[in-house]
Chain A
Amino acid sequence: MNKKIITATLLISDGPVEHSYFSELLDITNDELINILKEINSEISNIELGFEIKFDNTKSDIKTISEISTYLNDVKPASILKGLSTPALETLAIIAYEQPVTKLKISEIRGVESESSIKTLEARGLIETGGQLDVPGNPLLYKTTNLFLEKTDLESLESLPNIGEYFDSPEEE
């Protein structure tokens, strides 16, 4: 019964479902839930279906399996990256690592005005405003959204790699 409820909930839920929701609804521990999710994935895999439950320690969601992604190009939604410029990606990186951060700080780091990049990222739902800085003028603070975590496949902001990790050379390793 639990498997039916979990799969049905994941199918119709509005985005990933927090594990705490299932734990409360079905009166099971997180470990028990993860075991059930593994069992479901194993059963789905045995009958060779094109989707599975993607989960981490805190949330889960039904997603298509990645090896068939090229066959889904005509039906899957457009990438959130479509039309996203390099300056917008720079801005996203700055907000991700410096958040909560003001527009001024972003522009200082980039050396150019960043208004349009911020607007684009906001429109895509990757960033949002999160309060105001307590200084004269009260500038808005920007932070990343849950969609950003979902899209970058990160459990939380704490799991963002250290910036240095992007630049580790094989020699240093």
Chain B
Amino acid sequence: MEVLKIIDNLKDLLIKYTSNSESLLEEELNLIFNKIENINFKEDIDNYAEFVLLGASLFEIKAKRLLPQEEEIDWIDEIELMKDKDLAFARLLQFKAFSEVGIALASRIKNSENSVPAFKYYQTKDLLIKPDIEYEIDIKNFEDVSREVFTRYKTFKGFEHIDKDLPDIQDSIDELLQVVDKRLTTSFEELVLGVKTTEEAVAFFLALLETVKWGFIKAEQDNIDREINIEKNYE
């Protein structure tokens, strides 16, 4: 088919342009444009759309080359731009397709509604009277239920921390300030040397953040691998 042949020629030419080779043949281009002028475009719409896209890309590139250029065109950028255009075009086609399919589905629904199902009491299930919920309770039951409710949370995953004996942040702050007062300078690593549990280390770190925030001490760390140096803030 003539159009397909021209499209193939256009594709070849586009590849030559975009590869930034010097093999641009003016004659080849003129030949294609002459064919375009002579061809009858009553071909199918898909080919026509592809032709328009390719033609537009080619013209755009040619127009850019005609402009005065101080520096080399970045062909990588041009290819990226073309990829974006292809993607946008593909999305447009996808959207167009779903749009048509939506109309086709509506047509199916319209046809199927030409026959109407027998009248149904679609809501009968909901209209039926629901059985009463019977729950007998006496003082003893109530006491048992209450006890269960107030103790059950301990058995739930995620609530274990509630009864956990965690270190007190205020105590950690006091301890931290005492150490800093005595030593004048120290490091966070030294402070946590003596702790036995992760929770205590976390408490010390929180205490450090609080005391820095309040301006009692200064803390510095040159980079993530180095120690956190702590000193009293005399300002």
Contacts and interface: CB of A to CB of B under 8 A. Distances in A.
Contact of A93 (B102, B111, B117, B121): B102
Interface stretch (B21-29, B91-99, B168-176, B186-194): B91-99
Contact of A111 (B91, B113, B115, B117): B91
Contact of A109 (B94, B110, B118): B94
Contacts of A91: 102
Interface in B115-157: 115-118, 120-122, 124-125
Given A89-B103, A93-B101, A14 B125 contact: yes
Contacts, number: 105
Given A14-B121, A63-B117, A166 B104 contact: yes
B44 interface: yes
B191 to A, nearest CB: 36
Interface stretch (A30-38, A41-49, A75-83): A75-83
A94 B108 contact: no
A90 interface: yes
Given A97-B101, A151-B112, A171-B44, A89 B117 contact: no
DSSP majority for the B interface? helix
Nearest to A88: B102
Interface of A: 10-16, 51, 54, 61-66, 69, 72, 76-77, 79-81, 84, 86, 89-94, 96-97, 109-111, 150-154, 163, 166-167, 169, 171
20 contacts: A11-B118, A14-B121, A54-B115, A63-B115, A66-B114, A66-B115, A69-B113, A76-B113, A80-B113, A86-B99, A86-B103, A89-B102, A90-B98, A90-B102, A93-B105, A94-B98, A110-B95, A151-B113, A152-B109, A153-B112
Interface of B: 44, 91, 94-95, 97-106, 108-118, 120-122, 124-125
